[in-house]
Structure 1
């Protein structure tokens, strides 16, 4: 007896694979001419879409860029020179104070008592000296006794001055003008000698120190203007100048210190802020400039890709024209599409260039490029010598074209 055939049901995964292969085959057939597309249209689709910029003469400034943290020129820690209870606080954090202004007052009873005792002893020493001085003048007081009373008087005067100084230490005053950045004591606290009480910072001017490579030692000079952009203030710019330059180079790092100074009357800048500093040290008013993203660095050379008109293509022969006419409606559609005005064809040509100053997104070309030549800025990584390109005009470029540029650069 003939055996019963097994169920020949195809699995879903196999069906999906077969469907995919069929679709791929149809696509290959269409690409090979099944759809009736001409050779010229296929070539146009192969062109790489790019954006270009024109090299032109402009003014450009040479800058040195670096980063630094702002520091206060005046930064004083106010410490106690005597011990005592805090009886009065006259300032708070954020308040502006002047040099010598009273900040706090300590208990001064002990200091006043010592001064009173020292003053009384001074009066006694003064009386003894006056008596000895008269006796010495009358030659009835020995010189040794006269000298002894004189030295006792001088010593007691020093003790009184010391007691007065101790009494003055109970008044805490500002050593510099500035802003109270920190208060470390509270009312009623017992403070000891050398205990920190306040921190005062002078916000005008502020300084930032750049560690500059030694190759720029002759480039930067004291007095040159600088500009700083502060990230914490949304990139706001502040103008300053180079205050001084260190006369020595650090052998370990190969850098030298450049101190920049900034004066901000609004006191928007604060110590500790991080800034990006640019020092403009030279300017050229007639430099050939292109966008910085046009530069390609390869094998230690800088180059750009210049676009030039593509060579003329041979016209269709009579046989091809006859074939197009015999294709019916599909041929008519292709002919209508061909009749549309085509974008001019260009090819990319690599050009080795010598660069100069760079400022922002612009860079100077010293050699290898002429005024008016157009260089590729977007899409340059997707082209090589002789690659056909399609120039996208910035005013008419579509999102689809920009997406094509991004995809091309991603896979390059």
Structure 2
């Protein structure tokens, strides 16, 4: 009996030593793969503007003497909107017209003298040229005088006025914005790496600081064929619905929807393990996947307190969740922040993930 008890004690001591030597199974935090909507989109920023509009500035540098229209007022094509100080221009017109009248009178006298054979024919030719030149100078002066009237280039509503009587304005200045309040559009810039994935008719989700939490949408209506080589971006026009609350001049953030999967498998970002990025881009290295191509990675799935390495295909990623396109089903348990040294088939101790705040 004593020998039996001694043998049991030795076995127990050996088992305890082995347990201490190899340690307990690692404790891991798990979360369940859920099902939700995965949205793949291209981000851009843009500005709201009318589809039909024009920026109006002066044709010459002068002082503003009169502003004839106000904001929200409708104007017609050719209607005067402002006047500039044209006193010097009027003086030039008067001088040019006086020279033209003198040249015309001289031409009439020369014709009479030539008809009576008093003057040579060459004198008449010179007088005709002088009269034509003087009349052209007067006509150009009268045309320049009209530059001192700022006119509406098209029908529309005065959307904005930046003109005040007394200030000196020059040709680069914009005194008025004229256009139609509806329809509106957004002019956005898309990075050249993403422009190949943009198509006409794609749905766009918008966010504006003036309307927080409100769902705003648009549609891709136009893609400029030539990009900006300096900013490395392409201009994209987004059509807005007529009932949009956005106003002209607002800045918005746009997400152009490329793909929307309503029943996608989602896991927390902490569950995904991606392969390390290559340190050198040698010619023998495999080419980088094109933009939008799914990436490869793996997760650790727990079944009956055993960890199993599972290769997965990664879809859309966000700061919080990751879409798993292949390799995982909704409802399976995955390890968050897998501990280093975890091996396929190793036992683990489970610990449920804390609920996210909010």
TM-score, normalised to structure 1, is 0.55
Q: How does 1:350-369 map to 2 (within 5 A)?
A: 350-357=309-316, 363-369=322-328
Q: Which whole-Å deviations, capped at 9, do the CAs of 1:382-410 have from their partners, x for residues lacking one?
A: 77664333668xxxxxxxx74xx89xxxx
Aligned-partner Cα distance in 1 for 2:196–2:129: 63
| C-alpha spacing 1:249/1:197, structure 2 compared with 1 (3 Å) | closer
Whole-Å Cα distance in 2 between the matches of residues 154 and 194 of structure 1?
31
**1:54, 1:197 → 2: CA distance?**
55
**Matched residue, 1:167:** 145
Shift of 1:257: 2.0
2:348 maps to 387
How many pairs align? 299
> Which has the larger helix fraction?
1
Using a 3 Å threshold, how does the CA distance of structure 1 residues 282 and 111 change in structure 2: closer, same or farther?
A: same
Q: Larger Rg: 1 or 2?
A: 1
1:196 to 1:280, Cα distance in 2 relative to 1, 3 A: closer
For the residue of structure 2 that corresponds to 1:118, the secondary structure is helix
Matched with 1:261 is 237
Q: Shift of residue 68 of structure 1?
A: 2.5
Q: Residues of 1 paired with 2:232 and 2:72: CA distance?
A: 35
Q: CA deviation at 1:224?
A: 4.5
Q: 1:359 to 1:380 in 2, by over 3 A?
A: closer
* Deviation per residue, 1:224-269 (Å, 9 max, x gap): 554432334325423131633555795x9xx842212134455724
Distance 2:269 2:198 in 1: 27
Q: CA deviation at 1:157?
A: 1.6
**Is residue 69–residue 82 contact of structure 2 (8 Å, CA) maintained in 1?**
yes
Determine whether 1:306 maps to 2:301.
Answer: yes
The match for 1:191 among 149, 168, 186 is 168
In structure 2, the partner of 1:78 is 57
Question: Structure 1 143/178 Cα, relative in aligned 2: closer, same or farther at 3 Å?
Answer: farther
* Distance in 1 (alpha carbons) for counterparts of 2:311 and 2:81: 68
Cα gap change, 1:267 to 1:82, in 2 (>3 Å) = farther
Q: Give, in angstroms, the shift of residue 356 of structure 1.
A: 3.0
Give the one of 212, 217, 233 matched to 2:211.
233
Query: Residue 129 of structure 1: which of 98, 107, 124 is its match?
Result: 107
Query: Hey, what's the Cα distance between the residues in 2 that align with 1:91 and 1:158?
Result: 34
Query: SS in structure 2 opposite 1:297?
Result: coil
Q: Does the alignment pair 1:67 with 2:25?
A: no
Residue 195 to residue 381, structure 1, CA distance change in 2 (3 Å): closer
TM-superposed CA distance for 1:358, in Å, is: 5.3
Counterparts of 1:257 and 1:289, CA distance in 2 = 33
Question: Would the alpha carbon gap of residues 148 and 375 (structure 1) be closer, same or farther in structure 2, given more than 3 Å must change?
Answer: farther
SS of the residue corresponding to residue 217 of structure 2 reads strand
5+ long unaligned stretches in structure 1: 1-45, 311-346, 393-400, 407-412
Aligned 1:220-369 pairs, distance under 5 A: 220-221=198-199, 224-234=202-212, 236=214, 237-241=216-220, 243-245=222-224, 256-264=232-240, 265=242, 268-271=246-249, 273=251, 275-282=252-259, 289-291=265-267, 293=269, 295-300=271-276, 302-310=297-305, 349-357=308-316, 363-369=322-328
Match of 1:207 in 2: 187
Which structure 2 residues correspond to residues 92-171 of structure 1 after superposition, within 5 A? Answer: 92=70, 100-130=78-108, 132=110, 142-171=120-149
Closer, same or farther: CA 151–206 of 1 in aligned 2, 3 Å = farther
Distance 1:304 1:96 in 2: 63
- Alpha carbons of structure 1 residues 361 and 180: separation in structure 2 relative to 1, 3 Å: same
Partner of 1:18: none
User: What TM-score, normalized by structure 2, do the two folds share?
Assistant: 0.62
Unaligned runs of 5+ in 2: 1-25, 277-295
* Contact persistence 1:60–1:359 (CA under 8 A): no
In 2, are the aligned partners of 1:209 and 1:260 still within 8 Å (CA)? yes
Whole-Å Cα distance in 2 between the matches of residues 195 and 49 of structure 1?
Answer: 63
- Please report the RMSD computed on the Cα atoms of aligned residues, expressed in angstroms: 4.5
Output one character per residue of 1:6-45: Cα deviation in whole Å (capped at 9) or x when no partner.
xxxxxxxxxxxxxxxxxxxxxxxxxxxxxxxxxxxxxxxx
Contact 2:273–2:297 (CA under 8 A) maintained in structure 1? yes
